[in-house]
C-alpha cells in the first residue's frame, strides 16, 4: 500500500472522528493551520467530584499518516500539576503507547494503543486520569506524594490551575455545567391544544346523568329487568 493511500486513510478517518466529536460539549476542537493532522483542543472537565472540575485545558494532539495503526501524541499547553503529567505537558498514559505488549513496563496489549481506539477514547482516558491519578508510576513525583499525603493541598493546587485555565475559554464558547442534555422547551400553544382536545374527548356522546339513572333503574342488581317474570324460565 502506497504512503499516499495510507495518508488519505488517516485524514478521512480523522475528519469523521472530528465531526462526531464536535457534537460533544466537553471538548472544543480547532485545527492548526487547517491541518487535520494537528488538533488544538479545549478539554473541559465536567465532573463535580473532580479536583479539576470546571477547567478548560488547552492541549494539542498530533497524528501521523500511519494513524490509526500508530497512536497520536497528546500534550497539555498549560502547566498541569498532576502525578501523571510531565512538566512539558506530556502524559504518562498507557493508551498512547505503541501497540503490543511491553514486558518491561508490564503493560498488556489491551492497555496500549490499538487501531480500534480513537481520539474520543484517548480524550476520555485523559479525563479519567485527571480525576483518578496513577500514583505508582508517576511522571511528577512531588504531585504524586502530595496527592497521597496531603489531599487538601493537592485540591487547592488543582483549583488554582482551574482558575488560570478559564482565562483560555474563547469568548464565543459556552462552558457546559453538565453533560445532561437540556429538556426541550414546552410550547404554550401545544398545552392549550392538549386541554381543548381533552375536553372534547371527555364527551363520548352518552346521555346526561339523569338519563343514565333512569336507564339503570330498569335493571336490578343482577343485571336483569325488574319486570321480568320468573315464569320465563319455565
Quote the DSSP letter at residue 29.
Answer: E
Q: Tell me if residue 74 falls in helix, strand or coil.
A: strand
Contacts of 64 (CB under 8 A, 6+ apart): 10, 37, 70, 72
Question: What phi and psi values does residue 146 have, to the nearest 5 degrees?
Answer: -65, -40
Which residues are designated catalytic?
92
All three cell numbers of 73:
501524541
Sheet with 73-76, edge to edge strand ranges: 27-32, 35-44, 56-62, 73-76
Residues 29 and 119: their CA atoms lie apart, in Å, by: 11
Contacts of 123 (CB under 8 A, 6+ apart): 21, 27, 41, 43
Q: Which of 81, 95, 52 is nearest to 141 (CA)?
A: 81
Amino acid at each position: 500500500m502506497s504512503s499516499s493511500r495510507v495518508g488519505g486513510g488517516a485524514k478521512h478517518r480523522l475528519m469523521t472522528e472530528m465531526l462526531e466529536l464536535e457534537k460533544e460539549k466537553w471538548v472544543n476542537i480547532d485545527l492548526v493551520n487547517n491541518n487535520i493532522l494537528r488538533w488544538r483542543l479545549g478539554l473541559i472537565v465536567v465532573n463535580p467530584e473532580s479536583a479539576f472540575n470546571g477547567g478548560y485545558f488547552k492541549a494539542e494532539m498530533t497524528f501521523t499518516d500511519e494513524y490509526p495503526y500508530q497512536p497520536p501524541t497528546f500534550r497539555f499547553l498549560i502547566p498541569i500539576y498532576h502525578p501523571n503529567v510531565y512538566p512539558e505537558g506530556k502524559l504518562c498514559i498507557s493508551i498512547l503507547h505503541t501497540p503490543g505488549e511491553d514486558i518491561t513496563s508490564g503493560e498488556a496489549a489491551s492497555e496500549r494503543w490499538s487501531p480500534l481506539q480513537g481520539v474520543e477514547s484517548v480524550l476520555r482516558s485523559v479525563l479519567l486520569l485527571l480525576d483518578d491519578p496513577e500514583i505508582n508510576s508517576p511522571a511528577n513525583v512531588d504531585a504524586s506524594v502530595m496527592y497521597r499525603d496531603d489531599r487538601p493541598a493537592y485540591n487547592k493546587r488543582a483549583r488554582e490551575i482551574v482558575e488560570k485555565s478559564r482565562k483560555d475559554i474563547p469568548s464565543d464558547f459556552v462552558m457546559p455545567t453538565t453533560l445532561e442534555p437540556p429538556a426541550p422547551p414546552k410550547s404554550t400553544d401545544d398545552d392549550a391544544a392538549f386541554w381543548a382536545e381533552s375536553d372534547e374527548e371527555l364527551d363520548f356522546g352518552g346521555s346526561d346523568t339523569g338519563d343514565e339513572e333512569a336507564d339503570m333503574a330498569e335493571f336490578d342488581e343482577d343485571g336483569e329487568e325488574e319486570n321480568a317474570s320468573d315464569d320465563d324460565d319455565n
